[in-house]
A = this chain, B = another copy of it.
């Protein structure tokens, strides 16, 4: 049996990666230590495709043991959007027992200091990375993402976001030195002298409230930001997406134990159907930080009611793409078609409103009328998804019946430019797989507003005809200000139009992608380089990840003494 890693071992092992991450967030150039190709796994202890599948299969229809204090029952009812029941039960916790137990190890975790906390977090991420193939299945069968997306977004990309949060947390904590000698001159008299010590101290327990669609990608930043700043972390997964975060909690507890810390610094709070424990937990006095991804209604509730905590929310928004003109018409159509299709539009970053001048646009293929642009886009989506195998690989499955109902209702909101089509998944015949719906709306008709000014989460886009690009910019501004946006896209060859759109995005704090025609899509962001959300419009009060995301998760206590 190998000796367990000491903190010093972990520093030797992970400090170079931490340093690279610190450099990456400073330069924001491309960097990732987590390979995104599935075939890169299988050596040096990592699971390959087959081993990952076996590990996942072995979890099905079992009790997921975590050995947590206060376990008072077993709960679980996950059903894969692809059909099968997972049959896994998780410990249900008595918060009155679990929360005090989570506090017990905090002093040692605090005293370990920022560097040790960072490398313990990196060891957790390394073990998660080694099991990316296992996580891929867990994410696929809880979110409905197709396998490749579940592997990449749920694996290496999520791990990148977690590591990014650790890097920011570490950098923030070492901005103040551990000690300082202070000597103030007093003219001819002796100087005043003090010895000062500065210690980052945690706020308390962080609560991570997970979401259904991206349990790891949206869960890791808050989890690792809170843990790396000295807090214990309680993970409350979405009841339909427990497994990816339960695996995360188990790995974290193992690493904490092996490196000499209390495993209860990280714990799981699974819930009974309809129990709604998020509200109860989020307002407990022990909970001092909340990270949440989900509906605007509950995000607003948390911000208003979890007043004892720092609350970081990512809520709903309405994402806009302005189509003014392009020098690469086919590239634009292909890029947009992919963005609308990926994961059936079930991303907080998927474009919803495509604002197109009713008099048409200039392109490298000549002028195109509004109708032509919409028809060409519909054709591009059809072409992309014409082959069922490829469609299944891009679309994944609808995550829940609400999305399907919303999609079906949306067809009556206007003229259908592209009907949604059911795709059969031969491997999982119960999966509900749908291609995107595109509906034409007239942006000047007041009765269309209720459609395009509401989030219609799922594979639904509106091709909104506007009188001019200037009107499009005005509508963009209004949409972001009133509804929020995680992303904005725009296509234009006109410098003054580009400047106007940029100004609108700077004014409303929205993240803008311009003229994407290749292999980068408006709905994808890369850790260490792109910010996810801005924290400055109603879609989210935080960005992944910046200084503001970590700076309030700890406080600095100063002890000063005469020299």
Contacts and interface: CB of A to CB of B under 8 A. Distances in A.
A552 interface: yes
A510 B548 contact: no
Interface string A198-241: 11010100000000000000000000000000000000000000
B562 A517 contact: yes
Contact of A547 (B183, B510, B526, B547): B547
Interface in A134-189: 172, 175-177, 180-186
B29 A176 contact: no
A183 B518 CA distance: 13
Given A110-B506, A192-B520, A304-B307, A529 B182 contact: yes
Number of copies: 2
Given A192-B519, A199-B506, 6 more contacts: A27-B177, A28-B177, A29-B183, A30-B185, A175-B547, A512-B558
A559 B502 contact: yes
B548 A552 contact: yes
Contact of A512 (B27, B547, B560, B562): B560
Closest 7 CB pairs of A and B: A536-B555, A548-B551, A28-B180, A547-B551, A514-B561, A551-B551, A548-B552
B194 A512 contact: no
A30 B534 contact: no
Contacts of A551: 546-548, 551-552
* Interface of A: prevailing SS: mixed
A258 interface: no
A287 interface: no
A391 interface: no
10 contacts: A28-B180, A30-B182, A203-B536, A511-B558, A515-B561, A517-B562, A518-B562, A531-B556, A543-B556, A551-B551
B534 A555 contact: yes
B562 A515 contact: yes
Given A192-B519, A534-B557, A176 B28 contact: yes
Contacts of A184: 30, 526
Contact of A28 (B29, B196, B531): B196
Contact of A558 (B110, B177, B531): B531
Contact of A530 (B177, B192, B196, B531): B196
Interface in A316-363: none
Nearest to A522: B560
Contacts of A557: 505-506, 509-512, 534, 536
Nearest to A536: B555
A516 interface: yes
A296 interface: no
A560 B521 CA distance: 11
Contacts of A552: 535, 548, 551-552
Nearest to A513: B560
A26 interface: yes
Contacts of A455: none
Contact of A180 (B27, B518, B536): B27
A551 B546 CA distance: 9
Contacts of A371: none
Contact of A560 (B26, B198, B303, B514): B514
Contacts of A303: 307
A520 B558 CA distance: 15
A520 B190 CA distance: 13
A274 to B, nearest CB: 29
Contacts of A172: 547
Contacts of A529: 180, 182, 196
A559 B198 contact: no
Contacts of A203: 536
A116 to B, nearest CB: 17
A298 to B, nearest CB: 16
A243 to B, nearest CB: 30
A26 B175 contact: yes
Contacts of A28: 176-177, 180, 182, 196, 198
A214 B265 CA distance: 42
A194 to B, nearest CB: 6
B547 A530 contact: no
Interface string A375-403: 00000000000000000000000000000
